[in-house]
Structure 1
C-alpha cells in the first residue's frame, strides 16, 4: 500500500548560404536561456556548479552537473527563473520537452504548475473580495449558487469561509486530484465536488470543525473556484486571465483545461518516475483553481514579484497593500491566504505536484527575490531543493534555510549511485546508530515502489523484505511486501504477507481486496 518573460535572448543565426536564403531554410535554434545583463551569465554558471555534492560514507564527495542529476533521476526537462530585487535576472531551460524527444526546453516552454495554481487563484479571489466588498469570514454557502456545501454537525457553530478555504483551515476533505486522461470524459466542477461519475475523487465535505486545524485541501480551493464562477458568471480561465494573468502581462500562462492546440505545441510532456511519458502527454484538471495552471518559471516569478511589490505598497495591479499583507500573514498554522509561509514572515511560496510534473516557487517579500523551478517528471521533487539551495547561496538570501535531506531521499540516492544492497546497508547502519527516531517505514517503501515501477522486481522484494524485518509490527509494510511478491509471481508468499497485514490491522481493506483477488480467504 503506497504512502505516500517579455524579453528573451535573440537566437544567433548561423551563416546562410545563398542556396539557403533562396530556399527559405530556417537555421534558427530555440534560445534556451535569457539574461537580464551579461554579468548574470557568471552567476548562472556558479549556480549550476554549486549543487551540493553526493556524500557517501567512506568516499570523497561526488560533485555532479545539473544535467547529470537530471539523468540520474530520469528528469527529461527542467526550467528555472531567478529574480532578485523585484526583477527577473535570468531564466534557462535544460533538457527536452518530452522523454526521448529532441525539442529543447526553453524559458517559454509551458509546464503544469499543479498546486502553485492555488495561491494564484487566491490572488484573484482577494482582488474580487476587495472590489466587491465580499466578506472573507462569511459562510461560503452565501456566495455559492449552482452547488452548496452540505452543512452538518461540524458546521453548526463554525462556518466554512473564504479565509479558511484559502488557508486550508476550513475542515474540507480531498487533499489533491489525480487528473483525467486527455481522451476520457471530464466532470463538471459540481460533479467533482459531489464525487459523482465521471469524477474520480471522493465528495468534498466537512469532517472537522472549521477553524480548528490546518489540513491541506485541494477540495477547498475547488469550492473557491466555483464561488468565483457563480459570482462573476464567467468561465474560470477567463476570470483568471482578466484578473491576474493579463494585468501582469503573463503571456505564457493559462488556466484553460484541456490545453488549446495552439498552446499544446509549446507544452512539456509529463513523465512518470520510471522515465516513461504520461499517456496522452499530460492529465487534464477540471479542478483548475487547485491544479489547472499552465505557465513558465518566469511568469511565476512575475507573480511573486507583484505580491512582494504590493506588500511594499509599490503596486496595486491585483491587490492592495493591505490585502497583500493579509495574504502573507499566517491565517492558519502554515498558510497565509493561498501562499505557504515558512520560517520568517518574509518567506512565501508553494510547491506543486501533478501527474508527471513537479515544481516549486520560493520567494522573499522583503527583498523581492526568489526562484521558480519547474520539471516535467514525477522525480522532479528530488532535485528542486538542491537547485534552489544553490541559487540562494549564490545570491546571499540569508532568509533561505535549506530543508534537511530526508532519509527516504538519501536511501533512494544511495540505491541509484551504489545499488540496492548498499542502500539497505546504509539504512540499517542509520537505524542501528541512534537515528531510528528520524527513520520511518515509508522511507524504504518509497524505494521499493520506485524499483517495482521500473521493473526491478527482485530488488523491490528485497527492499520490502528489509522493511518488514526492520518494522515487523507495521501493517502497511507487510501489505507492501504482499504487493511485491504478487508482482514477482510469488502467490503463496503474497497471501501470507497480506494475511499478516490484516492480522495487524483488521481495517486494512486493501489486504482483504488483494486476498480475494488471489483466491484466498481473509
Structure 2
C-alpha cells in the first residue's frame, strides 16, 4: 500500500513538474511574441518569421504580420522570404563539402582552378575570397547594381580591368566578386551548376522543402516580397514613415552572393542538419567554417561592433560571452548560432531596414536570462564593472563610484560614446533615474563635450526638468554653435 502511495505521489509530482515546465515554456514563448510584435511596430516591419533551435529540435516557430501589403495577405509558415547574403553561408558549406572530398583546399590560390585571371588576382586564396579579405574590386557599383548589365561575361570583363583595392589579407572589405568566382569553381569541380549543387547537397539533405533560388523577377509562390522605408530623390535618399515596394535582381551567375529564398523553418532544419553532421561529415570542417579570418596585422575585421569578424561565408560575433556566428542578409534577415549555448535563432523579415541582427541577442535572453540587455549584456568591460558597483551603491552615486574605480585601477576608463549609448539604453528600458545618473556622469567626465550636455538636456526634458534642460542646451550650443538640435530646443523651451 505504501509503495502504491509513493508511486502515485511520484507520478503526481512528475505531472506537476511537467505542467510547470510546460507553463514556463509557454510563458517564455508569450514574452518573446510580445517583444517581437513591439519590435515590428517600432521598426515598421510588415512580416516576420521566427524559429528557435535547442537540443537539435525546433522549439519555437512563429510567423507574424502581413506578407503582401498591396493585397493585405497575411504571412504564414509557408511564406517565403529572401535571405539575401545569408546565401554566402551556403556557399561556405559548399566549398567545405568539396574540401572534404579533397577536390580543393581553402588555402589554394584562385589560379589553381580558374584561367584568364589578372596577374594581381592569381595568388589570392579561396579563404581570402570567402572571408572578404581578398582586395578584389567589386562587381557592385556605387548604386548597388551589378555591373555589366547582368551579363556574366561583360561583368567579369569589366571587373578584371579594375585595379586591386588592397593587398590580400590587409583588411576586411565586403565584396561580391569573389563569390561569383567561387560559383565558377563549384561548377567546375562538382560537374553541375552551383545552384543545383547547393540544392542537392544542402536543400534536399536538410529537408528544406520550400527553399529555392530566385529574385523579384521570378514567380515564387507565397513570396513575402520586399519593402523599404527609403526612396531616392535626386542624389539623396529620403526615409518614409511607411514601407514602400523594393525590387531585387540577382542574375543567375550572381546567386552565390545572394539569391536564396527560404522560410525560418527550413533554415532551422538546415542548422540542425549542419550541426548534426549531415552536411559536413568531419567535426574539423565545422571548426574551419566558423573560424574568423586573421588579417595580416593579427586582428579580425567585420561589419561592425557586433558582427566583428568574418569566417568562410559566415559573419562572426567574436566575444568572450556567448560567442556566435551570425549570417545577415540585406538588412532584413539574420540567424545566430550560439557556439557555446546549444541555441540558434532565425529571424526573417520583408523590410530592408528591419535589421533583426540588432535584436536577436535580446530574444536569446528569454532562454539565457543573463543575455538580456537590461542585465548588462553587451556592455563593454568597464561599463559592466561600473554597473555592478552602481547596483550595490546606487546609481545616484555614479560620479563618486566612477572616481573610486579609477583611483583603484588607473587603467579603468569610461568612453564617452559608450557611456552615452548606455544612458539611452537605460532610457529605452524606462529606468529613468539610472539614465539620468549616467548622463550626469558623462558630463562630469567630459565637460567640453557639446554632445554630452545635449544628451543630458534631452534626459532632463524627459523627466520634466525643463529649466535645467534649458541650461544644458545652452552649454551645448556654446561649445558647438552648429548644434541645430540644441538651438531648436532652446527656442521651444523659451517660448513655452
Residue 80 in structure 1 maps to residue 50 in structure 2: yes
Query: In 2, are the aligned partners of 1:194 and 1:204 still within 8 Å (CA)?
Result: no
Q: CA, structure 1 residues 69+257, in 2 after alignment: closer, same or farther (shift >3 Å)?
A: closer
The 2-side partners of 1:390 and 1:270 are apart by 24
CA shift, 1:48, in A, is 5.0
Query: In 1, are the aligned partners of 2:225 and 2:350 still within 8 Å (CA)?
Result: yes
The 1-side partners of 2:371 and 2:38 are apart by 28
CA shift, 1:346, in A, is 7.1
Query: In 2, are the aligned partners of 1:126 and 1:319 still within 8 Å (CA)?
Result: no
Q: Aligned residue for 1:174? A: 138
The 1-side partners of 2:140 and 2:223 are apart by 26
Match of 2:275 among 305, 308, 312: 308
Q: CA, structure 1 residues 289+384, in 2 after alignment: closer, same or farther (shift >3 Å)?
A: same
Q: Aligned residue for 2:292? A: 330
The 2-side partners of 1:97 and 1:77 are apart by 5
CA shift, 1:208, in A, is 1.6
Query: In 2, are the aligned partners of 1:124 and 1:318 still within 8 Å (CA)?
Result: no
The 2-side partners of 1:251 and 1:75 are apart by 25
CA shift, 1:78, in A, is 1.1
Within-5 A mapping of 1:185-224: 187-195=150-158, 206-224=164-182
Match of 1:97 among 67, 86, 90: 67
Backbone CA RMSD of aligned residues: 4.8
Query: In 1, are the aligned partners of 2:280 and 2:286 still within 8 Å (CA)?
Result: no
Q: Aligned residue for 1:27? A: none
Residue 391 in structure 1 maps to residue 352 in structure 2: no
Q: Aligned residue for 2:315? A: 340
Q: Aligned residue for 1:55? A: none
Query: In 2, are the aligned partners of 1:271 and 1:377 still within 8 Å (CA)?
Result: yes
Q: Aligned residue for 1:349? A: 325
CA shift, 1:112, in A, is 1.4
The 2-side partners of 1:112 and 1:411 are apart by 35
CA shift, 1:331, in A, is 3.1
- The SS at the match of 1:363 is strand
Q: Aligned residue for 1:66? A: 36
CA shift, 1:92, in A, is 0.6
The 2-side partners of 1:439 and 1:230 are apart by 59
The 2-side partners of 1:359 and 1:437 are apart by 40
Deviations 1:213-235 (A, max 9, x none): 33332332232123223444533
CA shift, 1:131, in A, is 1.7
Match of 2:229 among 272, 277, 288: 272
CA shift, 1:81, in A, is 0.4
The 1-side partners of 2:195 and 2:26 are apart by 34
**TM-score for both structures, normalised by structure 1:** 0.59
Deviations 1:332-369 (A, max 9, x none): 32233222232259733234342xx5111111234432
Deviations 1:5-50 (A, max 9, x none): xxxxxxxxxxxxxxxxxxxxxxxxxxxxxxxx99768536535536
**TM-score for both structures, normalised by structure 2:** 0.61
Q: Aligned residue for 1:293? A: 260
Unaligned runs of 5+ in 2: 1-18, 231-239, 295-299, 301-308, 381-416, 430-438, 456-475, 485-496
Q: CA, structure 1 residues 241+344, in 2 after alignment: closer, same or farther (shift >3 Å)?
A: farther
- The SS at the match of 1:127 is helix
Q: CA, structure 1 residues 387+215, in 2 after alignment: closer, same or farther (shift >3 Å)?
A: closer
Larger Rg over CA atoms? 2
CA shift, 1:471, in A, is 9.5
Q: CA, structure 1 residues 47+390, in 2 after alignment: closer, same or farther (shift >3 Å)?
A: farther
The 2-side partners of 1:276 and 1:362 are apart by 28
- The SS at the match of 2:132 is coil
Q: Aligned residue for 1:379? A: 353
- The SS at the match of 1:121 is helix
Deviations 1:373-407 (A, max 9, x none): 111113312x5433541333334587999545998
Unaligned runs of 5+ in 1: 1-36, 52-63, 197-201, 310-314, 418-427, 445-465, 479-522
Query: In 2, are the aligned partners of 1:123 and 1:319 still within 8 Å (CA)?
Result: no
CA shift, 1:245, in A, is 1.2
Q: Aligned residue for 1:234? A: 192
